[in-house]
């Protein structure tokens, strides 16, 4: 039996696998735009488990699975036994006997790792406290669509060193680009995590303007991620100067893009002028969740498909 292809962190795949996935995403997207059906997952079932809220992730996985010929079932903590203390290992055994693929959005990374260890089918991370690999997959695809290869380029991350930031750091290692991170004091990338990325792909800056200098992509995210709501008030004060504005975009490369995984808070982590401005590609970025995850689902279930 071949090993299951789980996608729990960005570093689970190699650069060659990403090259394949980006090419496949383009092919799947083009076909979709021509209204040509593509049903490689006919009759397959995706189970989506949400322990946190979602608009884009639910929509893109559910619509994506239908478009690939299969069906998707939505479970949340409130209406299933998952919220009533059933061990994650037991849930994994049962859910994976009735489905072909599982996507989970949850809290600690450990939960999804334990689920995957007990699953008979591939498991995809739809966001944990630590990582959001599907989002970065779509973001890098979006960068490639607009500007070509990301290799050797610089991404400026302004704001919280959260699940998105951690995933950018992993991606920089796998795909060989640079990440400039600027966070308020006390919110820096954890030293153990930073230690993993000390090979020239990652640099921290106290001043967000410095982090943006010459960057090819400027990106940010909410000041308070899901699960950290109790810290909201103190974060609002601490992050006040970490708002991506026109001044930051002006010191970035002349053709720099702006991205945000959404949902966004205009006037907090980004000004309306930037997110609604000409350098912003946030709507393409959101749409590309659909196309990139269709390529991902096809890949983890069927492996490489060379259909042209």
Size of the site for ligand CP (CB under 6 A): 8
Which residues, at least 6 apart from 113, have a Cβ–Cβ distance to it below 8 Å?
8
Please indicate whether residue 212 is annotated as part of the active site.
no
Q: Which is nearer to ligand NVA, 20 or 223 (CB)?
A: 223
Residue 232 contact partner, candidates ligand NVA, ligand CP, none, CB within 5 to 8 A by sort of partner: none
Query: Residue 163, annotated ligand binder?
Result: yes
The answer to whether 261 is annotated as binding is: yes
From the list 8, 21, 22, 57, which residue makes contact with ligand CP (rule: CB under 6 A)? Answer: 57
- When asked if residue 56 is in the footprint of ligand CP (CB under 6 A), the reply is yes
280 is in an annotated binding site: no
110 is catalytic: no
What's the DSSP call for residue 106?
-
Q: Which does 270 bind (CB under 5 to 8 A by kind): ligand NVA, ligand CP, none?
A: none
Q: Binding of ligand CP at residue 220 (CB under 6 A)?
A: no
Give the H/E segment covering residue 177.
none
Contact indicator for 248, 158 with CB cutoff of 8 Å: yes
Residue 164 interacts with ligand NVA (CB under 6 A): yes or no: yes
Q: Is 105 a catalytic residue?
A: yes
Does the annotation list 183 as a binding residue? Answer: no
- 221 binds ligand NVA, rule: CB under 6 A: yes
Establish whether 93 is a catalytic residue: no
- Report the partner that residue 222 touches, choosing among ligand NVA, ligand CP, none (CB closer than 5 to 8 A by kind): ligand NVA
Q: How far, in Å, are 38, 62, 151, 200 from residue 181 at the CA level?
A: 40, 33, 18, 13
User: Using CB distances below 5 to 8 A depending on partner kind, what does residue 55 bind out of ligand CP, ligand NVA, none?
Assistant: ligand CP
Binding at 51: pick from ligand NVA, ligand CP, none (beta carbon under 5-8 Å per type)? none
Question: 25: which residues sit within 8 A by CB, 6+ positions away?
Answer: 141, 288, 291, 292, 294, 295
The interface with ligand CP within residues 111-130 (CB under 6 A) comprises 127
Distance CA 130, CA 105 (A): 11
What kind and span of H or E run contains 296? helix 282-302
Handedness of CA 252, 253, 255, 260 (dihedral sign): negative
* Bridge partner list, 154: 178
Beta-sheet strand order (sheet of 45-50)? 71-76, 45-50, 101-105, 123-125
Q: List the end-to-end C-alpha distance of the chain, in Å, as a whole number.
A: 28
- Residue closer to ligand CP (CB basis): 139 or 173: 139
Say whether residue 261 binds ligand CP (CB under 6 A). yes
Catalytic residue among 132, 178, 201, 216: 132
Distance separating alpha carbons of residues 169 and 220, to the nearest angstrom: 14
User: Where do contacts with ligand NVA occur on this chain (CB under 6 A)?
Assistant: 127, 162-164, 221-222, 225-226, 261
Residue numbering of the annotated binding site for L-ornithine: 163, 221, 225-226
Active site residues: 105, 132, 135, 221, 261, 289
């Amino acid at each position: 039996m071949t090993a299951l292809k789980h996608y729990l962190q960005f570093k689970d795949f190699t650069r060659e696998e990403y090259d394949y996935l980006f090419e496949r995403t383009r092919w799947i997207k083009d076909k979709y735009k021509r209204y040509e059906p593509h049903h490689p997952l006919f009759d397959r079932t995706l189970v989506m488990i949400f322990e946190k809220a979602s608009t884009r992730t639910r929509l893109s996985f559910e619509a994506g699975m239908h478009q690939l010929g299969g069906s998707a079932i939505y479970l949340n903590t409130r209406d299933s036994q998952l919220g009533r203390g059933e061990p994650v290992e037991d849930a994994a055994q049962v859910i994976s006997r009735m489905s072909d693929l599982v996507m989970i959005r949850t809290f600690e990374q450990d939960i999804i790792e334990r689920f995957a260890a007990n699953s008979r089918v591939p498991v995809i991370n739809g966001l944990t406290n630590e990582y959001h690999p599907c989002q970065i997959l779509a973001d890098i695809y979006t960068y490639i669509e607009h500007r070509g290869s990301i290799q050797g380029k610089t991404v400026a991350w302004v704001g919280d060193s959260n699940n998105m930031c951690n995933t950018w750091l992993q991606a920089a290692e796998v795909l060989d680009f640079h990440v400039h991170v600027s966070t308020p004091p006390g919110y820096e990338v954890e030293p153990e995590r930073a230690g993993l990325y000390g090979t020239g792909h990652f640099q921290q800056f106290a001043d967000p303007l410095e982090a943006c200098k010459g960057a090819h992509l400027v990106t940010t995210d909410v000041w308070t991620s899901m699960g950290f709501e109790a810290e909201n008030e103190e974060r609002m004060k601490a992050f006040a100067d970490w708002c991506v504005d026109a001044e930051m975009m002006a010191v970035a490369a002349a053709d720099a893009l702006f991205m945000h995984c959404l949902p966004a808070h205009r006037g907090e982590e980004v000004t309306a002028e930037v997110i609604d401005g000409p350098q912003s590609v946030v709507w393409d970025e959101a749409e590309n969740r659909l196309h990139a995850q269709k390529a991902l689902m096809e890949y983890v279930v069927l492996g490489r498909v060379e259909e042209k």
